[in-house]
Amino acid sequence: MQAKKLTKNILTPAKILVIGFFLIITLGTFLLSLPISSANGLRIPFLNALFTATSATCVTGLTVLDIGTAFSTFGQVVIVMLVQVGGIGFMTMATLIALVLNKRISLRERLILQEALNHSTIDGVVRLVKKVILYSLLVELAGALLLAIHFYFSLDLSFGNAVYFGIFHSISMFNNAGFDLMGTINGPFSGMVPFVNDPYINIVMMGLIFLGGIGFIVLSDLIDFPNTRKLSLHSKVVLSATLTLIVVGTLVIFAMEFSNPSTLKPLHGGGKFLASMFQSVTTRSGGVATLDIGSFRQSTQFMLILLMFTGAAPGSTGGGIKITTFVLLLGAVHSMMRGREDVVLFRKRIAKDVVYKAITLTLLSLLLIIVFSMLLSVTEHQDFMSILFESTSAFGTTGLSMGMTTHLSSFGKVWIICLMFFGRIGPLTLIYALSRDRKKDLYNYPEGRIIIG
């Protein structure tokens, strides 16, 4: 009995999330290592299976093997199931099973769900889980239907294959994973580049990535808006900042790549704009590209790095430091320049501890990317821009690559696996999981002053 109590005290919500993701990756690695998961019937090397399982569970999309040609149907189903569980969260799936079995959700489980979904309180967290599951299934079903119809007519697939392709890519895009099966049609690692001039595919996939990236709390607010006629502060910040970054990203890519013969120049006017918008949307954590990222100018690649680092919204299927963190940092800078003490967004004052958390998260994220970029510089024979791009993509669980992933050494694969895991869990959650129970100080030190600037 005492051991049980001790275990409960030791396993905080942050620790349970870390352990849960670790166990799912372990199970995925085992399944993908089986000969039945391989297209040729041979066992996939352990490190490659681990890399793929981590990338799928962390909804990243970086891969050392082409999903369409290297894995069997069984292996592909394992990957897309890992994407689904990793995207909406294993605790959400566990809660679904509990609800189906008519089991009561305990306070401890509600606290874990609050941590997993980045919800502000435990109040209404079970209702939110039900909405997460419902919205995910509805959006993925709609996306699968739209994609299956187009694949059936445009790719000359059988009805069954078109439906399979539609389901796989809808789940992958909505969960911001970026995996695709186009290697079976256009050759290994061809990705979505052949669809650069296809407005239908571009619009449907951008819609799926956008809906998956804004987060379930915002989705819930938008669906309830006709009745409530109001949006929460969180939803206002996420939507306004997301749309702003998409527009800015689109215009910058369009301007910088307009005359690049390897990217936008061969496309017609509307195609140039559509391709620019798609790359702007997907850098937020989508992981698929309709242009060769390695052929972009370095100025554009660096801007993509900044967008990947910013990432999607909290409580979404995307990664990065999260767009709300980015907005809070800008708000803090603006307040300091105006001589104000408080950060104010949409006429609402933001608590100082939230601002401190945003600063801490950003610095920890930068530190992780710097450390692992240095490690990759030691083990990989690549230019630094490719290394920085790959590191940021892995941490932001974005999945875009300049072509470095397939050339990674064994050490390089390990570094990227660590970055994908840390990026999905989040630096703060990882710190909370590794640290002792947080206690409030019983006393204050005398105030001191240092000079900055």
pLDDT digits (tens, 9 = 90+) for 340-375: 889 999 999 999 989 999 999 999 999 999 999 999
d(CA 149, CA 372): 42
* Contact call for residues 53 and 25 (beta carbons, < 8 A): yes
Per-residue model confidence (pLDDT) at position 328: 95
7, pLDDT greater than 50: no
Per-residue pLDDT reduced to its tens digit, 104-152: 766 666 666 666 566 666 666 677 778 888 888 999 999 999 999 999 9
Mean pLDDT of all residues in 276-295: 94
Going by pLDDT thresholds of 50, 70 and 90, the confidence category of residue 6 is: very low
- Picking from 186, 199, 197, the residue whose alpha carbon sits closest to that of residue 155 is 186
Per-residue model confidence (pLDDT) at position 161: 96
d(CA 61, CA 70): 15
> Positive or negative, the Cα torsion across 126, 131, 132, 137?
positive
Going by pLDDT thresholds of 50, 70 and 90, the confidence category of residue 98 is: low
* CA distance from start to end of the chain: 56
* Contact call for residues 211 and 174 (beta carbons, < 8 A): yes
Query: Exposed e or buried b for every residue in 260-286, given b needs 16+ CB within 10 A?
Result: eeebbeebeeebbbbbbbbbbbbbbbb
The proportion of the chain whose per-residue pLDDT surpasses 90, expressed as a percent, equals 68
d(CA 98, CA 121): 21
9, pLDDT greater than 60: no
Mean of per-residue pLDDT scores for the chain: 89
H or E element at residue 133 = helix 125-154
The residues with which 345 forms a beta bridge, in sequence order, are: 348
Mean pLDDT of all residues in 57-78: 96
- Picking from 315, 156, 140, 138, the residue whose alpha carbon sits closest to that of residue 238 is 315
Per-residue model confidence (pLDDT) at position 285: 84
The larger pLDDT score, comparing residue 397 to residue 124, is at 397
* 3 state SS for 229-252: CCCCHHHHHHHHHHHHHHHHHHHH
Mean pLDDT of all residues in 426-442: 70
Which amino acid, one-letter code, is at 173? Answer: M
* Contact call for residues 405 and 399 (beta carbons, < 8 A): no
pTM above 0.85, yes or no: yes
33-37, 121-125, 247-251: segment of lowest average pLDDT: 121-125
- Picking from 15, 221, 211, the residue whose alpha carbon sits closest to that of residue 128 is 221
* Contact call for residues 309 and 369 (beta carbons, < 8 A): yes
Question: Under DSSP, is residue 343 helix (H, G, I), strand (E, B) or coil?
Answer: strand
* Contact call for residues 289 and 205 (beta carbons, < 8 A): no
Q: How far is CA 273 from the centre of its chain?
A: 24
- Picking from 242, 147, 162, the residue whose alpha carbon sits closest to that of residue 201 is 147
d(CA 214, CA 389): 23
The residues with which 349 forms a beta bridge, in sequence order, are: 344
The larger pLDDT score, comparing residue 171 to residue 15, is at 171
- Cβ neighbour number for residue 418 with a 10 Å cutoff: 17
Per-residue pLDDT reduced to its tens digit, 300-321: 999 999 999 999 998 788 889 9
Per-residue pLDDT reduced to its tens digit, 164-206: 999 999 999 999 999 999 999 998 999 999 999 999 999 999 9
Per-residue model confidence (pLDDT) at position 444: 79
Mean pLDDT of all residues in 238-255: 96
φ/ψ (deg, to 5) at 26: -60, -45
Burial class (CB within 10 angstroms; exposed 0-12, middle 13-18, buried 19+) of 448: exposed
Q: Which residues does 93 contact at the CB level (< 8 Å), separation at least 6?
A: 85
Mean pLDDT of all residues in 442-448: 81
- Cβ neighbour number for residue 42 with a 10 Å cutoff: 8
Per-residue model confidence (pLDDT) at position 381: 92
Query: Among all chains, which residue has been given the structure tokens 């024979």?
Result: 381
Per-residue model confidence (pLDDT) at position 397: 93
Q: Which residues does 385 contact at the CB level (< 8 Å), separation at least 6?
A: 298, 301, 302, 402
Alpha helices for 34-66 (secondary structure H): 46-57
The two structure tokens encoding residue 376 = 């990759």
d(CA 289, CA 304): 12
